[in-house]
Structure 1
């Protein structure tokens, strides 16, 4: 904050007056007074003497705050304070507002016992404030004699009903005038017909600071650059907002981020259009009529490109593919993320940043990857700061300390509550030496089975286990997410399995293990309908090596179990130990050297496919019962759970012949 005691009011006001006069078009102004001010290059009045200031204070019954007193001694009033206050009071015109506007009642109507102190103070301002606006565009300027700092400065509040916002607080009169000078600059910087170019010492200084901020940002000093750009943006410098938007977007701030004038430039559109469109898609609810608002000035070709990008973002087919060596590493990162290795993908993307080249002089960092369905979920505020702190675009500097990996090692994280509020049951298959694309051929019995579209955990839960009538309803055919499970392993994961019935369960391990090793884990140790269970089976070259099942209070094992998987270590008498799930998962991870990607499974998108049934067909003399549950539709506007649509049969044979 500026030292109000040492501030050079005369120099500041002379500078402001000259900028106003030089930037005024021939037909602008509010009458002869403005024309005289233009000729004199002075927006103020003659200075007020100490006696005149003291007389005004005697009339008001209060000593005025220091910065306002010092201002009056240089200019006893002011014209054009910002864009909406045409005349500001001097000693003769400053007066107590005393609710002359009648606004106190309106502000007080919104108060209740839960209102904050600041709200009560603002409401009382209309009765006690010292009014400084004399002529304005319905803009009130009030100094608050009860909002006083240690230096005796009164806060200044500005309010206009047409702004539809609470009063704006300025720390003191000096800060108010500096803010009005910024407002004057931001409005005058807008192009005006007939007005001379708005160039002066202030704009030249700020533009030089913007250019230095650009270079600093590319060196990795995004915080210093951000402060300089924010100040220049308040003065309306055109490049400042464009550059600052790129920093804010990588920090996760999407509010009012439009990359104005850059996104419609053919040089920058390939990288800036996708994240803008992706944010629009997130909140548009299929109403595309307002997309053009963010593309003002764009030609027809770019608008068509934006709509095409919007469709690809919505159907998850948009692919970030920059050119050159950086693009090659981006594709490598994308493949890692595609199969769940989000930490490896981020490291690859981060390490490739020195290879990135700006598309033009106002390009600070790669942003198109944010819209990619595989790469976009990599972004966190911490990673955004890491990216911004990394030297790039031909600039040199110190690399930042790498952010920690976000995925835990091993499998034990499955024993913790998931983001959805708890994981009642889950199952997965691990295959060694098999690529993820090969899993449908090993775990599905459909001819030509291949991986389907990437789905979130929520979407995967909504896919019918019965295949929409394609398969017998007693079958348990889960839609499983696919990815890599560490060095040399792939996985298929089911977020929401059907109930576990040991008498009908058929492990897919043996059928999937031709020429390799397969591991199956099915766990429900937090209870499914109040019952705990777990199953582990391991097969090699088409034959089961060993298995372990705990269900209905009974333990059954086949084959020679490794010591680490001894069931006695998982049980406390007939019941599982409280930490049995974690112990089992840790043992499996240690035994086979595997891990599952937490972020990709619980919060990302992974390719999916439908497996063969995990339950056997009814035997002779057995029948089965199908239970159909129909859920009512939720009110319009609320999200409908896809898992409650249509048929939801029980997939368990009924051995009762009368069933």
Structure 2
């Protein structure tokens, strides 16, 4: 908080006046008064005496807030407060607004019994506020005698109908004037025909501050850099917004990011255009008409490049591929991410930061990877801060403390609710000593079966629905996510997020077929199943033959073969009913027995390759029948399958 009594109003107002006078074009000004102010290099009026201030307070019936009083003693009024207030009131012109504008009724129309107190107080401002604007571009400036801080300062509110926003609050008259000085600078910084270059002590100080912030950011002091850039941005200094947006993007503040002119600069476009396009695609709903506005200043060549990038972002084929040693590390990280090891991918990307080289002097961090469908999900706010805290781009500094891995060990996390609470049953296959690319040959029964492109769970579910009419309706073919079951564990996995109902009399475990020359494990769990029944199945096979299987379903346990004691379901059942923690204990036992784990972040929120398996249910036998029911919802038929023989 600024000490209003210690603030040097005269120095501040003289500086502002000189900057205004030096920045005017020859033909600029609103009349003779402006020309006189330019010659005098003074936007104010003579100071008001204490007697004059006291007389105004007597007329208004209130003592003025401290910072406005101090201002009046230096200048009894002001011209050109920002860009839209042409004359600001002094002692003679300050007056109670008393809803002279009729705006109180308009603001009150939006209020009801559910409105917050602050909303009611804001609407009442138009009846009680002290009006300070005398001439303006329909901009109101009101001090609120009921919004007072501990120092007696009244908040100042500014509003114009053409802003299409709520009134803007300034903590005091002093803060209002400082904000208007920033607004004046931000407008003067824009190119104007015939105007001199806008350079003064303030711009030189802020431009040096921007350069210092760039170096600080590369050393890892992103917080200090962010504050310095934010101040410079408020004054409209070039570079400040584009540099600050790079920090904001890594902090997850994507809605405020545009990179200013950097995104359309051919030097920086390879790294800044993809995340900018990805954010546009997220909000555009395939309406591309505003893309040119989104990329203000882009020429035709850049727009062609932007549309090509947009197409790749939308169809999930965009691939972040920088050059050099850092690019080689990115490729390794991408390979880890596509098989589910997102923690390993992040570590690889993070550890390679010293190898990263900026594309130019206004480049603070690698950003193109955020638009990559495999690498983008690695980002969290914590990891964004970690990246920003790491020295890079040839700068020295202390390495930040690494963020914790996001994937828990083992399998027990499956017993916890999924994001949104949607996962109530699941099944997975583990195959030992094989790569994920080999799983189609072990889980699918069609020659030449290959992995599908990486997808999210919702996309995989849509694909499964789209294939519903491709196979006999009694079959239970799963579209399963595929990856590695833990770094160094030696297992690959296939995971089904949302299987249908478990029917033990028709179930066929894929473990035996998947285990040729190795071991395979199948788990199907629904101890929180939405179909109303609890069940658990485990089968283990080696070299093409099932070794043992245990199934709990319909209140009964069935065992084939001799499971190890650690996997005996009776350990987790109480009177043939699962104990509340049975699912977690069963999963912990499986993880310990086989040393496997599943990647939570990739399964719940990432993108993984998929495979469509052979059916998990057998074909009808002689004498068995099945019924297919189609339910029409709107225009789209929706198939529903009944079990064979029912």
TM-score class normalised by the smaller sequence: over 0.9
Aligned counterpart, 1:492: 494
Question: Quick check: 1:523 aligned with 2:525?
Answer: yes
Q: Is the 8 A contact 1:43 1:78 kept in 2?
A: yes
Q: Shift of residue 617 of structure 1? A: 1.6
Question: Quick check: 1:648 aligned with 2:640?
Answer: yes
| Counterpart mapping for 1:205-604 below 5 A | 205-464=205-464, 467-486=467-486, 487-604=489-606
| Per-residue Cα deviation, 1:542-582 (whole angstroms, up to 9, x for no partner) | 11111111112221112221121122202112222222211
> For residues 465 and 361 of structure 1, do their structure 2 counterparts lie closer, same or farther at Cα, with a shift above 3 Å needed?
closer
Aligned counterpart, 2:11: 11
Q: Shift of residue 99 of structure 1? A: 1.6
Aligned counterpart, 2:34: 34
Q: Is the 8 A contact 2:630 2:637 kept in 1?
A: no
Q: Secondary structure at the match of 2:430?
A: strand
Equivalents in 2 of 1:217, 1:127: separation in Å?
47
Q: Shift of residue 468 of structure 1? A: 4.1
Q: Shift of residue 420 of structure 1? A: 3.3
Question: Quick check: 1:626 aligned with 2:625?
Answer: no
TM-score, normalization: structure 1? Answer: 0.95
Aligned counterpart, 2:71: 71
TM-score, normalization: structure 2? Answer: 0.97
> For residues 560 and 98 of structure 1, do their structure 2 counterparts lie closer, same or farther at Cα, with a shift above 3 Å needed?
same
Equivalents in 1 of 2:299, 2:381: separation in Å?
34
Q: Shift of residue 462 of structure 1? A: 2.7
Equivalents in 2 of 1:619, 1:112: separation in Å?
68
Equivalents in 2 of 1:335, 1:420: separation in Å?
28
Number of equivalenced pairs: 644
* Unmatched runs of 5 consecutive residues or more in structure 1: 634-643
Q: Is the 8 A contact 1:148 1:154 kept in 2?
A: yes
Equivalents in 1 of 2:568, 2:259: separation in Å?
60
Q: Is the 8 A contact 1:273 1:306 kept in 2?
A: yes
Q: Is the 8 A contact 1:47 1:72 kept in 2?
A: yes
| Per-residue Cα deviation, 1:499-556 (whole angstroms, up to 9, x for no partner) | 2121211111111111111001111112353211111111111111111111122211
Aligned counterpart, 2:199: 199
Equivalents in 2 of 1:171, 1:373: separation in Å?
44
Question: Quick check: 1:158 aligned with 2:158?
Answer: yes
Equivalents in 2 of 1:434, 1:74: separation in Å?
82
Equivalents in 2 of 1:407, 1:127: separation in Å?
58
* Large movers: runs of 4+ above 4 Å: none
Question: Quick check: 1:129 aligned with 2:149?
Answer: no
Equivalents in 2 of 1:271, 1:645: separation in Å?
45
| Per-residue Cα deviation, 1:368-425 (whole angstroms, up to 9, x for no partner) | 0010000101111111111111111111111111111111111111111111324232
Equivalents in 1 of 2:287, 2:157: separation in Å?
39
Equivalents in 2 of 1:433, 1:533: separation in Å?
29
Equivalents in 1 of 2:60, 2:504: separation in Å?
89
Q: Is the 8 A contact 1:29 1:35 kept in 2?
A: yes
| Per-residue Cα deviation, 1:462-490 (whole angstroms, up to 9, x for no partner) | 33479443322211111111011022110
Q: Is the 8 A contact 2:97 2:129 kept in 1?
A: yes
Q: Secondary structure at the match of 2:493?
A: strand
Aligned counterpart, 1:116: 116
Q: Shift of residue 456 of structure 1? A: 1.4
Equivalents in 2 of 1:559, 1:549: separation in Å?
12
Q: Secondary structure at the match of 1:653?
A: coil
